[in-house]
Amino acid sequence: MRIQVGIVGAGPAGLMLAHLLHQHGIESVVVDTRTRDEIEGTIRAGVLEQTSVDLMTATGIGDRVKQQGQVHHGIELRFGGQGHRIDFADLTGGRGVTIYPQHEVLKDLIAKRLADGGDIRFGVSDVRVEGVGGDSPTIRFTEGGTEQVLHPVLVAGCDGSRSTTRFLVPAPKPRQDHFRQYPFAWFGILAEAPPSSDELIYAHHENGFALVSTRSPTVQRLYLQVDPNDTPTDWPDDRIWQELHTRVSGEGARILEGPIFQKSVLHFRSFVCEPMQYGRLFLAGDAAHTVPPTGAKGMNLAIADVYVLSRAMAEYFAGGETGALDAYTATVLPRVWRAQHFSWWMTSMLHRMPEASGFDLNRQRAELDFVTRSRAGRTLLAENYVGTPLD
């Protein structure tokens, strides 16, 4: 089967790329080893930047996010027993973020692609990408017990943080892997409870970081910084609630409890693959870079990557111009590194590091105090959190 673009991975990057390419009149085939139910049923957080929502709306997949997404115009930083609001609307000219889970974005993208006649191959196996360094790449996979072969002109590696396509970029030169593993994890819960706050709360405490997030009016998502070796069995419900009350304590704070129906431990890291392309292969999303979730950048970076990549591919198929494709890595990397810096900064400012001393805790509080008191500090945080324009 000869196609214009073969896309490996039906996550946010792969599905959004297929959708944007269709807007340019370019058809693609998406392959993924997961079933549709697995993709749509994996519950993950979702904070969409203003530009991501605008792009979804402009390309015809914004109805549900407009109806069901929760628009937030600020967050609260808590430390020393007090809350300090970062007013996005005031600091960024009225912009904000939308709370809308990643699996709901995927449902919207899948429904739209299938309605548009798109080709998505769910639940395949033995996916192999070959020949990307030459003129005739192939994507081989098994579907229904039969080997299938795609002959794409271009290949997009969008297969997530456990990517196999990433390793088709030659190493160690010219590829550079930039990697940082963090010495703690997040313990996340889903609870049937009303919201504890109208906006997200990022709490710094000597016991460790806590995040009060939300999913819906009846389901809340909350996180605690824990040891990376902890398991859900180490955290009975009573201990979870006690620690949340302790870390999000003080003036104006409240944690509303409810039945906990999901527990998980999230390990995270920072990673950048450079370059993000080789021959006819182009990486996007978590296949090319991952960030700690503190900055809420992962899905937005994936969307920004494929926005640039779809335009470059459209230019190539329209007239054979390769300039934008050749410049893909150089075009997207500045945004990737800005997001890495912001995510690292938020993480290092709010989390208790192992073996932290009183000096370290007081230094963090001094930094938080400066950020929240200074309009320049609040603006720096707000502008990075709501995101910069795609162009």
Which residues are catalytically annotated?
72, 202, 293, 297, 385
Interatomic CA distance for residues 312 and 382, integer angstroms: 30
- Residue by residue, DSSP assigns 56-67 as HHHTT--HHHHH
**Between the CA atoms of 343, 48, 36 and 150, what dihedral angle is there, to the nearest 10 degrees?**
-80
- The answer to whether residues 17 and 309 touch, using CB atoms and an 8 Å cutoff, is yes
The amino acid occupying position 58 is A
Query: In angstroms, how far is CA 219 from the centroid of its own chain?
Result: 21
Q: What is the DSSP string of 277-334?
A: EETTEEE-GGGTEE--GGG--HHHHHHHHHHHHHHHHHHHHHH---HHHHTHHHHHHH
Token pair, residue 238, equals 């009573």
* Residues 6+ away with beta carbon under 8 Å from 158: 7, 8, 9, 11, 13, 14, 17, 283, 284, 285, 287, 302, 306
Could you tell me the CA-to-CA distances from 181 to 42, 269, 292 in Å, in that order? 24, 5, 10
